Amino acid sequence: MNRITSAENGKKGGRPYASKYVSCFIIPGINTVVLTKRQYDTLKEKFGKELLQKALLILDNWLCTSPVGIKHKGKNNYAYFRTDGWVINEARNFIT
């Protein structure tokens, strides 16, 4: 991992710079949703495997087809998995 801080990159602050591709976790059957292993495990523990899988499929489809979703493709998508967020609500409606 590169230990150059953002302050050394010409920005003010001190967060270490890390490539977004180093910590990506490959989710089987999902092509465009980007999560780290820790984020995936947290979500699986919080929502359960079945609900999380449905939510991942819904978000993956949205990222591929929606013009707004295409802008968010390749970025970390952890923020979409809020308890009261649209992805989880759609997955709950899909299961019932």
pLDDT averaged per 10 residues in sequence order, the chain, 96 residues = 54 55 73 88 94 93 86 84 92 82
What confidence score (pLDDT) does residue 92 get?
93
Whether the model clears a pTM of 0.75, i.e. scores above it, the answer is: no
pLDDT at residue 56, as a whole number: 94
CA distance 41 to 17: 24
Distance of CA 2 to the CA centre of its chain: 22
**Which pLDDT score is estimated for 49?**
93
